[in-house]
Structure 1
Amino acid sequence: MPRSVSGVEMRKRQAAHIEVPPQVPGQPRANTCCLCWCGCCKCPWTEERMERSERQTCTKMDSIEAAEDQQPSLDQVLSWARSFEMMLRSLEGREIFQEFLRSEYSEDNLLFWLACEELRKESDLSVVEEKARIIYEDYVSILSPKEVSLDSRVREGINQNLAQPSSLMYEEAQLQIYTLMHRDSFPRFLNSCVYRDLLASRRRACLDT
């Protein structure tokens, strides 16, 4: 079991180590896995980071309401219905999906997946160890209010790997949560008011131009 780390200390460590690389919306990063998982351009996997970002500037979700030039195109919105992968590669798609998950109290699934994506990009062993422990405390520990649903076999593998953390130690858990979102949450998202209202607004915008 990992040593106990306070919530404040974990957030400080995370804020110190997270780097936000540039990313073109809708474009996957190089070296993605065989499932073409997205290379997220920011990782909103702590409340502190999200709150700080909201104070400094409007979020992409805010911009959908406030700034016409930052809205996804009709083609983009339609492409999300055809491919879960394509939606996750899009910054706007991920954030629209996150809004929907928040309404179903399952946002932590996406935040866990994004945190694992950040870990997969790390090569510095000390950073890997810190991020691996933070992910465990935030999303795997049964004591965490943000615990995600993982089967006992996957949990046992994670517990064993904590002795020697690696950037891929959550790979199987990440796939399990990815599959859960794809099969369970994604179909409901496409039938939700969140997606349908956005699609209708994009169609109206096209007719007005």
Structure 2
Amino acid sequence: MPTDVIKAKNYLLSLGIHGEIPMGSERMEMRKRQMSVQQESVAGGTAPTQQDQQGQGNRGSNACCFCWCCCCSCSCLTVRNEDRENRNRRASYDVKGEGTGEIEDSPKPTVEEVRSWGQSFDKLMRCPAGRSAFRQFLRTEFSEENMLFWLACEEFSKETNKTIIEEKARLIYEDYISILSPKEVSLDSRVREVINRNMLEPTSHTFDDAQLQIYTLMQRDSYPRFMNSPVYKNLLKSLSEQSPES
């Protein structure tokens, strides 16, 4: 008797099936019955375990993938944020060392100086205390970046070292010219094109046109409001009351 037939007969006996081993189509039918019995047996015990393992595997894989993506994203964001903060700190340090300190620590103005601010914008901007008061006003209008940019350009135009010029030009561009910067100043397309060309080989005059445009903007737009603002009026009143000549 062939070995496969003996195995089949023994298998049927183990299942409680007695009789002759079927041949041909009957054997096919028997195999179907065997497969049905095996499927029922698997469904009763083995399948859930395999499904659970597969599900756990999928969840584990997804979790790992999710964690990796999150970690990667967080790491990338952290690096970008740190890089941005470092650039801002360097830029802020440069600007502060080149003019902001002068404004913040400016001496108290006299009554005559404060009154002279109303004569012209030039007199206001030439006076450290005037720039300080005007900057405080711009801060209330959320346009302080105009003064900061103008100050940065003033100091930048005095620089002579080529390496420092290139570094500071990049910082000024990133802080005040780039459309991605929260401190971007308002410039027309012509001036932006000039700056973009100048940035290929920056010099101390790279931002001259932009500085003039921002100066004119402050003179025409913000200066008249400053002269009528409580910031200016209260300062003038306070100094007038303290002055023995008043």
So what's the TM-score if we normalise by structure 1?
0.72
Q: Deviations over 1:95-132 (max 9, x none)?
A: 00000000000100010000111110000001100110
C-alpha displacement at 1:75, in angstroms? 0.3
State the shift of 1:15 in Å: 6.8
Residue 180 in structure 1 maps to residue 236 in structure 2: no
Identity %: 49
What SS is found at the alignment partner of 2:99? Answer: coil
Q: Residue 123 of structure 1 aligns to a residue in which SS? A: coil
Q: How does 1:81-100 map to 2 (within 5 A)?
A: 81-100=118-137
- Quick one: distance in 2 between partners of 1:72 and 1:153? 38
Map 1:20-169 onto structure 2 (within 5 A). 20=97, 42-44=98-100, 59-60=104-105, 70-169=107-206
Q: Against the structure 1 CA distance between its residues 16 and 184, is the aligned structure 2 distance closer, same or farther, given a 3 Å change threshold?
A: closer
Distance between the aligned counterparts of 2:187 and 2:218, measured in 1? 13
Given candidates 87, 93, 96, the residue that maps to 1:10 is 87
RMSD: 2.5
Q: 1:83–1:127: structure 2 CA closer, same or farther, 3 Å change rule?
A: same
Secondary structure of 1:82's counterpart equals coil
Letter in 2 for 1:73: T
Aligned pair count reads 165
Seen in structure 2, the aligned counterparts of structure 1 residues 12 and 99 have a Cα distance that, compared at 3 Å, is closer
Cα drift, residue 161 of structure 1: 1.1
Shift, 1:202, TM fit: 1.0
CA distance in 2, matches of 1:170, 1:123: 15
Q: Aligned-pair distance for 1:83?
A: 1.7
Per the normalisation by structure 2, the TM-score is 0.61
For 1:100 and 1:15, how far apart are their aligned partners in 2? 20
Runs ≥4 in structure 1, deviation > 2 angstroms? 4-20
The verdict on how the C-alpha distance between 1:97 and 1:125 changes in structure 2, with shifts beyond 3 A counting, is same
Structure 1 gap segments, 5+ residues each = 21-41, 45-49, 54-58, 62-69
Matching residue's letter, 2:223: F
Q: Secondary structure of the equivalent of 2:139?
A: helix
One-letter amino acid of the counterpart of residue 190, structure 1: M
Question: Contact between 1:84 and 1:182, CA under 8 Å: does it hold in 2?
Answer: yes
Q: Aligned to 2:243, what secondary structure does the other structure show?
A: helix
Which residue identity lines up with residue 200 of structure 2 in the other structure? A
Out of 214, 218, 226, the position equivalent to 1:189 is 226
User: C-alpha displacement at 1:19, in angstroms?
Assistant: 8.8
